[in-house]
Amino acid sequence: MTRGRMTVGRRGRLSASAIALVAGLAACAHTPPGSEPVEAPLAYYWQSAEGHLRLLAAARPVNDWLVEEGAPAQLKAHLRLSQRLREFASQALALPDNASYTRYADLRRSAALWNLVAAPPLSLQLRTWCHPVTGCVGYQGWFDEARARETATRLAGRGLDVAVYPVPAYSTLGWSNWLGGDPLLNTFVQGGELELARLIFHELAHQLIYVKDDTAFNESFATAVERLGLARWLAGSADERLRQAYQEAERRRQAFRALKRETRERLADVYAQTGLSDSERLGRKAQVLADLRGAYRQLRTSWGLDPARVFPADRWVEEANNASLAAEGAYDQWVPAFEALFAREVGGSTDWRPFYAAVRRLADLPAPARRDGLEALLRTGSR
């Protein structure tokens, strides 16, 4: 979800207190029907708290990096860009203006953490894990990839589809502001202007609005803010090549999303055919996934990209299963609904606050009413 050492002194004492607090909250975690119990909960919460606090301890103010003689020039350029994006997020997008993304840490690894997701073999319903602060979520985050994969192997042994994937950044929903906020990380800060903007806007959106026990709502809202915010950022850019690169990347992204959405719909149809035996449905599932791989190969050829650029997508498709497809769906399910809500509340205005107020009204509704509201917005957006 480091190889840097924990600091000592006052920050070290705060860290120890925070670890004790988070570990103690493990006893408050609940496991409602349909959710997956946290195995060895104290150990899991300990690694979560310790991993995050090690990450915070490795972070230093961006300004310190900018004046450090030994820091690479390219890193300094990316950090300057991050601060412009950070300011834009607060001023133009009305996202939280706090300590997050004003510090930088080099974790000396390729991911901030690794997410584990799981689903039954004949369902696209993600298993959930329930925690005191975040509620029930459809993933489990590990700071140690090996431990994530060990847990995945145990779940696969129970017959579940599982997937483990790297996460470049995550949000603490503002809970870490008293410790300096969520930092910029080497795992994403040098990924290019478009991806850096996406990530900062997405993660700050989580800090603004978050609903317990509703992963699809949270991720779709943050993804909508990410897309709408990036469009606003590019509208003010004088770099025509950047806008063209965005348009080309978005076309590829939308085509890939459409393919994954079609695959989920076909699988859902297969799983709904309860008149078939499990073995028959598993056979049809295998055919749908084979069709996904074949269609992706054609799509990939049409892109004409360097193979190194599409390797992550290649691997994802090769390993695709219910868990990975369902996890992807959580990020996209309600995005058109939020975009329709944005068009209704903001339109051509530059004031995003009415949009957020409308999202909060949805967030405050009971889950069934919230879903009804989103489905109504989907119908509005499709007209």
The token duo for 341 is 């809500």
| Contact between residue 64 and residue 10 where contact means Cβ atoms under 8 Å apart | no
Q: Specify the DSSP class assigned to residue 151.
A: H
Angle at the Cα of 30 from the Cα atoms of 1 and 155, rounded to 5 degrees: 55
Q: Which helix (H) or strand (E) holds 61?
A: strand 60-61
Tell me the torsion sign for CA atoms 362, 368, 371, 376: negative
Owner of token pair 């509005």: 380
| C-alpha–C-alpha distance, residues 194 and 201, integer Å | 11
Strand order in the sheet with 184-185: 60-61, 103-105, 184-185
Centre a 10 Å sphere on the Cβ of residue 261 and count the other Cβ atoms it contains: 15
The helix/strand/coil state of 37 is coil
Taking the CA atoms of residue 171, residue 175, residue 179 and residue 185 in that order, the dihedral angle to the nearest 10 degrees is: 0
pLDDT tens track, the chain, 383 positions: 333 322 223 333 333 334 333 433 333 333 344 455 545 677 888 888 899 889 999 999 999 999 999 999 999 999 999 999 999 999 999 999 999 999 999 999 999 999 999 999 999 999 988 877 667 888 899 999 999 999 999 999 999 999 999 999 988 888 888 878 899 999 999 888 999 999 999 999 999 999 988 989 999 999 999 999 999 999 988 789 999 989 999 999 999 999 999 999 999 999 999 999 999 999 999 999 999 999 999 999 999 988 888 888 999 999 999 999 999 988 888 999 999 999 999 998 999 999 999 999 999 999 999 999 999 999 886 55
pTM of the model: 0.83
DSSP secondary structure string for all residues of 260-295: HHHHHHHHHHHHT-TTS-HHHHHHHHHHHHHHHHHH
Q: Any bridge partners for residue 335, and if so which?
A: none
Distance CA 329, CA 163 (A): 14
Kind plus residue range of the DSSP H or E element containing 113? strand 113-119
Query: What Å distances lie between residue 348 and 74, 235, 339, 344, CA to CA?
Result: 36, 13, 13, 10
- The C-alpha torsion from 90 through 213 and 320 to 303, rounded to 10°, is -20
pLDDT of residue 16: 38
Is the separation of the CB atoms in 107 and 144 below 8 Å? no
The set of long-range contacts for 191-197, using a CB threshold of 8 Å and a minimum separation of 24, is: 193/81, 193/242, 194/230, 194/242, 194/245, 194/246, 194/249, 196/78, 196/81, 196/82, 196/85, 197/85, 197/229, 197/230, 197/233
Measured distance CA(115)–CA(42) in Å, rounded? 18
Q: Which residue(s) pair with 116 in the sheet?
A: 140, 164
Q: Would you state the pLDDT for residue 133? A: 66
Residue 19: its pLDDT value, please? Answer: 38
Residue 356's alpha-carbon distances to 278, 333, 352, in angstroms, are 44, 19, 7
CA–CA distance from 201 to each of 46, 59, 61, 176, 278 (Å)?
A: 29, 20, 20, 17, 43
CA gap 241, 247 in Å, rounded: 10
SS3 95: coil
Predicted pLDDT of residue 277: 97
pLDDT of residue 70: 92
DSSP-assigned letter for residue 128: B
Q: Coil, helix or strand for 71?
A: coil
Cβ-Cβ contacts under 8 Å for 327 (sequence gap 6 or more): 115, 117, 126, 138, 139, 163, 165
